[in-house]
Structure 1
Amino acid sequence: MVSDKELLIWDQYDINVIRTYKGRQSIICETDKGLRLVKELGFQSPKIEFQNRVKKLLEDSKFYHIDCFVPNLNEELITRDKDESLYVMKEWYDGREIDVRNKSEILLAVKLLAMIHCNMVNVECDVTQSHRFEDLNVEFEKHNKELKKIRNFVRDKNKKTDYEICFISVFEMFQEDTIAATKRLEKSNYAKLLEDAIQKKCVCHGDYNHHNILITKNGPFITNFDKCKIGVQVSDLYNFMRKILEKNNWDINLGKEMIDTYHEIKNLNSDELENLLIRFIYPEKFWKIANHYYNSNKAWTPVKNIEKLQMLAAQNKIKWEFLNTVFTDYI
C-alpha cells in the first residue's frame, strides 16, 4: 500500500510507479522507466549539487553504471513533501554486492575505482572546506587525543569490564602504531599530495566498499557518492583494501594484485604508495572500536565488541607481515 506521502513525491516526477519495496534507508520503485531509488536527505542542496557535478563526470562510461540523480518535473534534483522533508531520486539497478572472497570480483572493484578516479578530476566547484576531506595530520592528531582520553578513562576505573581489561591489554601495541604512522606522515610528502589534489580538484568517492559496488545483469553498478569530497584519492584505495584484507586475513598475494591492478590504470607514484602505507600503519579500526565504546553505554559492552578487539589484536602481527612484504621499499 503506497502512502499519500509517497504519492505526493511520485507525482512530482515523470514516471509511473508500478510497485515499491524497501531498500537500505530508501524506497526502491519499479517504474515504467526502470528501477528508481528514493531517499530522504539529511543535508541541504549544496552537497547534492556537488555530487551531481561529480556524477556528470562519470555518467557516460561504457564500463560501469552509477546512481545518477533523476530531476523532477521542475528540473530540480531535490523534491519536497508536504512536511518540507527533502528527497532525491536516483537511477537504480537490481544486483548483488561483490563477493569479498572472490578475487576476480575484488580486482574488478579495484579496476573500477581506478577508472572513476581518472575521471573524477577538475570538478566544477569552489574548493571550500565543506567540499574537502580533513587534512590527515589533523585527523591523526584528533584520533590520537581521543585514544589517550579513552585510555585514561579506562585506566582510572576501579572495576573494569572484560572489554576494558582487553582494551588496556592491547592499547600499548596499537599506540606504537599510532606514533609510527604520525611520525611517518610528518616526514612524508603528504602536504604536496594534498596540495596537488586540491589544485587538480581530485575527488574521492568517500565510501568505496563492497556494499556500494553491485554486480548486475547490465554490468557493474557503483553507488552511494554521498560522502564524495576533494582529497587524496589513494584514501579510497586504502579504505577498500583494508576492509577486504581484514576479511581475507591480510593475504599478501591478493594485496599485491590489488595495488598492481589499480596501478595498471592509474599510476601510483612513490608519494602515493608511501601515503597508502601510512594509512595502513595507523590503527584506524582500533580507534573506531574504542570510540564506539566511549560514546555508548559503557556499563554493558556486547560480547561481539570484545571479540572484534581480540581479532584485531591477533591480526596486527599478520598485518605487519603484510606491510613488510608488500611495501618493502618503504619500510
Structure 2
Amino acid sequence: MAYRYSDKKYLIQYDLCIELFKSFDLKVHDVVPIRNVYMVSTNKGEKILKKVEYTIEELNYIYDLLSYIRNRFPRVVNFSKNNNGDICTIWKGNMYCIIDVVDGTECNFNNPVELSIASKALGQLHEASEGFKTDLKSKYTNGNLLNTFKRRIQEMEFFKNIVAIHEKKTEFDEIFVQNADYYIDEIKDSIDMLDKAGYYKLCSEDDKVVICHNDLAYHNILINNGEAYFIDFDYAVIDIKVYDLCNFINKVIKNFAFDIDKAKLIIDNYCITNTLSERELKVLNAMLNFPHDFYTISRDYYTKRKEWDENVFLDRMKKKSGYKEDRKEFLENFNRNICSKK
C-alpha cells in the first residue's frame, strides 16, 4: 500500500529497536510501513506498531472504551500488553503500543453490499457503546455543536479579513472570497435547523448518546467474511449517534457526486440494527447542511495546518467548491425524501 509524504516524515521518527519489541515479548521477522504505522510480522502473528502522540490518559480512555464495546460487539481493534501488563511502552521518550492486526479488506464505499454491512455494524457498535462514561471531560462533545458552528462563522469572517488585507491575492483567495458568504449563510442555516429540531433536548436523552468513532473513513472499516470490523479509535468522542452518522455519510458521498441513494442505503441499514427518531433525522439534516469540506480546506490554508504546496491547496479548493450544485441537490433530496418520510 502506498503511503504519503507526510506519513514518511512521521515514520522516520519511529525507533525500530529490537529491545522495544522485546518489551512486548515479540520476535520480529519483518517490518513494513503502512500509512503512519508499521505492520510487524512476529512470532505471535501480524501486529501493528504505533507511536502514540497523545497522553497516557487518552490512551487509557481508548483502551477502556474498546473494552466496554467489546463486551457486546467484539469486532473492534485490540491492544497487546507488554511484559509489565501495560498497553504501552515508553521508549526513548516516546510512547509505543502494539495492536493486534484485524484481518479483512478496506471497505469499498462504491460496493453497496459492503456499505450495507458497514452501516449495520455501525448501528451495533453504537448500541454496544451506550452508557460508557469517562473522566476525560474533553471527550464529551455532546451538546457543543451550536457553539461550535457559531465559532466557525467567526473563523470564516476572520479568513475573509485575512484575504482583504492581502495586496496580491492568490487564486485560492479568489475562490474563497467568491464562495465564503454562501457557505457562511449555510452555517447560519445549520444553527437555525439545529435549534428548531430540538438539538439540546436530543443531547439530554441517554439512549441517543454513544461512543462515536469520529473517523469513519474506508480504511478504518475492514470487511471480512461478510462482517465489518472497526479500527483506529484515536478520534473517538462521546456524542449523539447522528454525529457519527454525519461523519460517515459525508465521507461516503463526497466521492460519489453526493449520491442521495448512498445516504439512504446507510440510514436504512443502520436502522436494521439500531433506531433513528424523527428528531434525530432532523438534527442529522442540520449537521449535513454544515459545509464541512469548504470550511476545512479554508481553515487548513489560512491557519497553515497542513504542510501542502500551494497547488495542492488550490486543487482541493477547486474540487470542494466545484461540487456546490451537487451538494445543494443532495441536501434538498435529503430533506424531502428522508427527513419527511419519518
Alpha-carbon distance in structure 2 between the residues aligned to 1:234 and 1:271 = 10
Which residue number corresponds to residue 254 of structure 1? 262
Alpha-carbon distance in structure 2 between the residues aligned to 1:269 and 1:119 = 18
Which residue number corresponds to residue 189 of structure 1? 198
Deviation at 1:227, TM superposition (A): 1.3
Local SS of the residue matching 1:268: coil
Alpha-carbon distance in structure 2 between the residues aligned to 1:41 and 1:16 = 21
Deviation at 1:287, TM superposition (A): 0.8
Task: List aligned pairs for 1:222-241, cutoff 5 A.
Answer: 222-241=230-249
Which residue number corresponds to residue 36 of structure 2? 25
Return the letter of the residue paired with 1:280. L
Which residue number corresponds to residue 51 of structure 1? 62
Which residue number corresponds to residue 278 of structure 2? 270
Local SS of the residue matching 1:104: helix
In structure 2, relative to structure 1, the CA distance for the partners of 1:196 and 1:236 (3 Å cut) is same
In structure 2, relative to structure 1, the CA distance for the partners of 1:206 and 1:171 (3 Å cut) is same
Gaps of 5+ in 1: none
Contact 1:177 1:283 in 2 (8 A): yes
Gaps of 5+ in 2: 1-13
**Stretch deviating more after TM superposition (29-38 or 313-322):** 313-322
After TM superposition, the score normalised by the length of structure 1 is 0.89
Return the letter of the residue paired with 1:141. K
Sequence identity (%): 23
| Cα deviation code 1:176-196 (max 9, x no counterpart) | 211111222233311122223
Deviation at 1:267, TM superposition (A): 0.4
Alpha-carbon distance in structure 2 between the residues aligned to 1:208 and 1:111 = 14
Alpha-carbon distance in structure 1 between the residues aligned to 2:209 and 2:271 = 20
In structure 2, relative to structure 1, the CA distance for the partners of 1:297 and 1:65 (3 Å cut) is closer
In structure 2, relative to structure 1, the CA distance for the partners of 1:297 and 1:133 (3 Å cut) is closer
Deviation at 1:264, TM superposition (A): 1.8
Alpha-carbon distance in structure 2 between the residues aligned to 1:321 and 1:76 = 51
In structure 2, relative to structure 1, the CA distance for the partners of 1:4 and 1:301 (3 Å cut) is closer
Which residue number corresponds to residue 5 of structure 2? none
Alpha-carbon distance in structure 2 between the residues aligned to 1:11 and 1:297 = 37
Local SS of the residue matching 1:160: coil
Which residue number corresponds to residue 184 of structure 2? 175
Alpha-carbon distance in structure 2 between the residues aligned to 1:258 and 1:4 = 41
Which residue number corresponds to residue 9 of structure 2? none
Contact 1:18 1:31 in 2 (8 A): yes
Task: List aligned pairs for 1:1-331, cutoff 5 A.
Answer: 6-59=17-70, 65-81=75-91, 83-126=92-135, 128-133=136-141, 135-197=144-206, 202-216=210-224, 220-296=228-304, 302-328=310-336, 330=339
Alpha-carbon distance in structure 2 between the residues aligned to 1:275 and 1:297 = 29
| Cα deviation code 1:161-215 (max 9, x no counterpart) | 1111111111222122111112222333111222235x88621112122121123
Deviation at 1:75, TM superposition (A): 1.0
After TM superposition, the score normalised by the length of structure 2 is 0.86
Contact 1:94 1:216 in 2 (8 A): yes
| Cα deviation code 1:85-126 (max 9, x no counterpart) | 211111113543222322222222212211111101222433
In structure 2, relative to structure 1, the CA distance for the partners of 1:138 and 1:288 (3 Å cut) is same
Alpha-carbon distance in structure 1 between the residues aligned to 2:268 and 2:169 = 46
Contact 1:53 1:123 in 2 (8 A): no
Contact 1:155 1:168 in 2 (8 A): no
Alpha-carbon distance in structure 2 between the residues aligned to 1:44 and 1:4 = 19
Local SS of the residue matching 1:231: strand
Deviation at 1:281, TM superposition (A): 0.7
In the alignment of these two chains, the number of paired residues is: 324
Alpha-carbon distance in structure 2 between the residues aligned to 1:4 and 1:276 = 43
Deviation at 1:216, TM superposition (A): 4.3
Deviation at 1:260, TM superposition (A): 0.9
| Cα deviation code 1:136-165 (max 9, x no counterpart) | 012112211110000122133332111111
In structure 2, relative to structure 1, the CA distance for the partners of 1:115 and 1:330 (3 Å cut) is closer
